[in-house]
Amino acid sequence: MTTIFLACALILFASAWMLNPYSLKKRARKTLAIYQKIYSEEKKQTLPPANRPEFLPITRTLEKIGYRAAGDYESVAAGETYGPIRAFIGMDGKVTAVAYLRHGNIAKRSPVATTFYTELSDGRWLVSEPSLGTNVALLTRPDNVERSLFSPVSPPAKLAADHERRVQETLAQNPNVHGVVVHDLGQTLMQTSRFWAVVCAYRKSIGWITEAELAAMTKDPRRARNLAAAIDRIRPSGSHAK
């Protein structure tokens, strides 16, 4: 699910970067505010009307390989709504998947994206997401979040198969570790909240956005360095860039 918020953050960031009339300080404030908002732990999950027709194809695809739809939800933070999102649960409950609507040009080729998650009992997370080659993939993750990246137009069944393989290999290599099992939408939402708390804590620990990430996204090390320095001067206490 984190891909949803990251994509929104990067769209907003691009807008902030291109506003030439803004002073460097104002751009820094806007950029920092975007990431603080996106990575807010104060997210409330609500249940929107179900039966969205956009989700019918992915629902049929995942049901054929043993998944079941757990229900739909939205996340709301700082007045911004992210969703709708459809949650799925794998056959043994160790894998969850979230499907969400895309925006922009990619939506014409692949209107719905699906990311797969597994929470392990040792605190690690396995994630398979269709973000390879996008700016979303350039943002770093906590050490306990192990990502596998796929093309944005990769078939969901391919992601599901790869993710299941990774889960089985990881469990075989770590006999004392097990996958956390979920059974329904309520447990899926609690798991989502745990994952988001890990990501938000990490983002806060690095100051929400780093110079290296800015440079990777903008392809302009000098401008990234200047913007990162400006952000560092206004960054609140309790967070810092690594």
Q: Which token pair is 184?
A: 């329904």
124-140: pLDDT as tens digits: 999 999 987 777 788 89
* pLDDT attached to residue 19: 42
pTM above 0.85, yes or no: no
Residue 155 has pLDDT above 90, yes or no: yes
E strand or H helix that includes residue 124: none
117: closest CA among 13, 23, 3? 3
Q: How far is CA 2 from CA 24, 161, 197, in A?
A: 28, 20, 11
Residue 176: CB atoms within 10 Å: 7
What percent of the chain stands above pLDDT 70?
Answer: 83
- Are 100 and 85 in contact, with CB atoms under 8 Å apart? yes
Give CA–CA dist 55/66, Å, rounded.
Answer: 16
188-214: pLDDT as tens digits: 999 988 998 999 899 999 998 999 999
* pLDDT attached to residue 18: 44
List the chain domain ranges.
2-234
Q: Which of 11-20, 29-38, 119-128 has the lowest mean pLDDT?
A: 11-20
Report how far Cα 3 is from the mean position of its chain's Cα atoms.
3
- Are 107 and 113 in contact, with CB atoms under 8 Å apart? no
